A = this chain, B = another copy of it.
């Protein structure tokens, strides 16, 4: 279970059937679930933001379901904003299962806020990526690698089941995962810039969509 706040997020959790309890100061739109009217002091204590909206909910994590045909595998992603953005893009482009290997806590309030509700639609699995690849060897795994000779634009992937591996903000995907993957590639760029992992990941998921 984890805390959520903000009207939009709470509405999304409610629609997904994951909202279990509500604490509110003035208005409670959800009388069909357990609810408590509380003081502003209580809400301030529960809230993680300066200007809260006077409503906080307790939400259950999404129950497990089948693996999607497209899977995102995240190797040591540490920044809450990147995690939130990646979850949002994953849902947008059909990567409905995410494997998390030593990543930032996805129930961290910053991550929850930045997913904009996508957290309630995604299937999250905490697992070592090496073990995952060995167990699910019917997927075709792609790993990003800045020194790869393959370019994203040239990839022609005709596979039903694919797993995209993205790596840590500073180090990228670990070498042993690049070796385990079926192919590695980079995003070709005009200039020597590197892209933030959430931007790179979104570009790739759109392309593989």
A112 to chain B, nearest CB (A): 15
A195 touches B91 (CB 8 A): no
Please name all residues of chain B whose beta carbon is closer than 8 Å to the beta carbon of A191 when the two chains form the complex.
Answer: 91-92, 94, 118, 121
A116 to chain B, nearest CB (A): 7
Does residue A196 face the partner (Cβ distance < 8 Å to B)? yes
Interface set, chain A 153-209, CB cutoff 8 A to B: 153, 187-191, 193, 195-196, 198-199, 202-203, 206-207, 209
Please name all residues of chain B whose beta carbon is closer than 8 Å to the beta carbon of A14 when the two chains form the complex.
Answer: none
A154 to chain B, nearest CB (A): 13
A94 touches B195 (CB 8 A): no
Does residue A144 face the partner (Cβ distance < 8 Å to B)? no
A119 to chain B, nearest CB (A): 12
Please name all residues of chain B whose beta carbon is closer than 8 Å to the beta carbon of A189 when the two chains form the complex.
Answer: 92-93
A binding-site residues for B, Cβ under 8 Å: 85, 88-89, 91-94, 116, 118, 121, 152-153, 187-191, 193, 195-196, 198-199, 202-203, 206-207, 209
Since A91-B191, A94-B191, A202-B202 are in contact, a sample of 10 more A-B pairs with Cβ atoms closer than 8 Å, ordered by chain A residue number, is: A88-B193, A89-B195, A92-B189, A92-B191, A92-B195, A118-B191, A152-B206, A199-B202, A203-B203, A207-B207
